[in-house]
Amino acid sequence: MQRLIEGHKKFLAEVFPARKSHFHLLAEGQTPEWLFITCADSRVLPDLILGTEPGDLFISRSIGNVVPITSQDVDGVTATIEYAVEVLRVRHAIVCGHSDCGALKAALDLKSLENLPKARRWLEQVETAFAYRQPLNPADGESAELASLIRGNVVAQLQNLKAQTPVRSAMAEGRLTVHGWYYDILTGRIEEWDAGLGRFVGLGGESFW
């Protein structure tokens, strides 16, 4: 805890004063442009990766960056999506998976979840990822099979996102665009799903290979 306390002290002494006017505006409301749906993994830090500032991203996190499609239960992810689209009127919604995802590792070996009943039930929602597995990429080395499934899960959850009523309506109105991303922790690079090509490509057209 001491590390967090010292970090907060540094924030108050060095960071906050330089951005006081910005935080003053944020204290009165938020107008994020992007809804960022990603994994709860501690290695994924959206603002660090994307160079964004407080107030830029409206973030939803859960293990496996899952977007539930069931209407039987109330869940935090779909409630967050509803609020972001209908109230905040975000212009973009991004589903971002990442390399070495423990949730998808578990999907490959459900026995590892025997003592985690809630996690097991939650991860039943990534089963469709198997139908969207991507071609193995030699650049992923020994993790190629897992990376293939993780990318497939991005596509699967992107389909789930499009199926949400607020998202479907906003897309039809032309006020919302959805995106599927894969973040590689080792290289720091992001790939985006290109539906037209039917594969992942470098974000912004960047070539990796």
| pLDDT at site 113 | 87
Rounded Cα distance between 183 and 194, Å, is 15
Q: Around Cβ 84, how many Cβ atoms within 10 Å?
A: 24
Q: State how beta strands 34-38 and 57-61 pair.
A: parallel
| pLDDT at site 59 | 98
pLDDT tens digits, one per residue of 25-63: 999 999 999 999 999 999 999 999 999 999 999 999 999
Give CATH superfamily name and number for 31-205.
Carbonic anhydrase (3.40.1050.10)
pLDDT tens digits, one per residue of 8-24: 999 999 999 999 999 99
| pLDDT at site 209 | 46
User: pLDDT band at residue 112, thresholds of 50, 70 and 90?
Assistant: confident
Q: Averaged over 129-134, what is the pLDDT?
A: 95
User: pLDDT band at residue 3, thresholds of 50, 70 and 90?
Assistant: very high
Rounded Cα distance between 84 and 136, Å, is 34
User: pLDDT band at residue 207, thresholds of 50, 70 and 90?
Assistant: low
Categorise residue 84: left if φ over 0, alpha if ψ from -120 to 50, beta otherwise: alpha
Distance, C-alpha 181 to centroid of its chain:
8
Q: Averaged over 171-178, what is the pLDDT?
A: 98
Rounded Cα distance between 14 and 37, Å, is 30
Q: Where are the domains of the chain?
A: 1-27, 31-205
Instruction: Give the sign of the dihedral formed by CA 195, CA 198, CA 202, CA 205.
Output: negative
Q: Which two structure tokens, joined as six digits, stand for 181?
A: 């991303």
Contact 67, 77 (CB under 8 A): yes
% of the chain with per-residue pLDDT over 90: 88
